[in-house]
Amino acid sequence: SQQGEEDPQALSIQEGENATMNCSYKTSINNLQWYRQNSGRGLVHLILIRSNEREKHSGRLRVTLDTSKKSSSLLITASRAADTASYFCATDAYGANSKLTFGKGITLSVRP
Amino acid sequence: DAGVTQSPTHLIKTRGQQVTLRCSPKSGHDTVSWYQQALGQGPQFIFQYYEEEERQRGNFPDRFSGHQFPNYSSELNVNALLLGDSALYLCASSLAGTKTGELFFGEGSRLTVL
């Protein structure tokens, strides 16, 4: 079963705009991660936030975590056409190196 | 630095057949996890191997089995294939004992069952 639920399911923006994607989950977590997938290929890890962290930055990425609401958001600033991909949030409930439970993903299209 | 490699990249089977997928983890990694991704869905955890043993298993039937070799590479076997087994099968590697849970994924093996 899917743990995470991302929204929106699809997002289309203009190059240079910011993209905000949200993820909600159901059970207590250890970490929450975001991954990107280009056209049905392998997933690429973007950023990880621990359950005791509230915000984290990596380059043009900003992720927030609200454990009281069981939700997270991923912000991509100054988007580029190359950011076009599917984005997934994934949670692990039992500690590092335990199984990840993924959401259904968000399809982001960035128009040049 | 070699990343995660999977083979074959694509394959077509018919119902009832058996398939074996292979994975070599990223250099230095000792843990291999397998995920199934149906079209339009997120990856679903199948199982994880560490020290040549299955350590965790998701909600998949016994038709799905695996193996890890002493060099940490791994195989996923699926018996008695069903149409619903058509999916992208992803292998991910990691290092046990790490404080993070970051996974490194291969490009996947796309299985079509006719």
Task: Please say whether the beta carbons of A78 and A18 come within 8 A.
Answer: yes
Flag whether pLDDT at A98 surpasses 80: no
Task: Please say whether the beta carbons of A103 and A5 come within 8 A.
Answer: yes
User: In the block, which residue shows the tokens 């004992």?
Assistant: B97
Query: Which pLDDT belongs to residue B1?
Result: 63
The tens digit of pLDDT for each residue in B57-88 reads 999 999 999 999 999 999 999 999 999 999 99
The verdict on a CB contact (< 8 Å) between A42 and B99 is no
Q: Which one of B35, B94, B105 has the shortest CB-CB distance to A97?
A: B94
The confidence band for A3, taking pLDDT boundaries of 50, 70 and 90, is low
Q: How many other CB atoms sit within 10 Å of the CB of residue A72?
A: 24
Query: Which pLDDT belongs to residue A34?
Result: 96
User: In the block, which residue shows the tokens 């995920």?
Assistant: B35
The tens digit of pLDDT for each residue in A38-73 reads 987 899 999 999 999 999 999 999 999 999 999 999
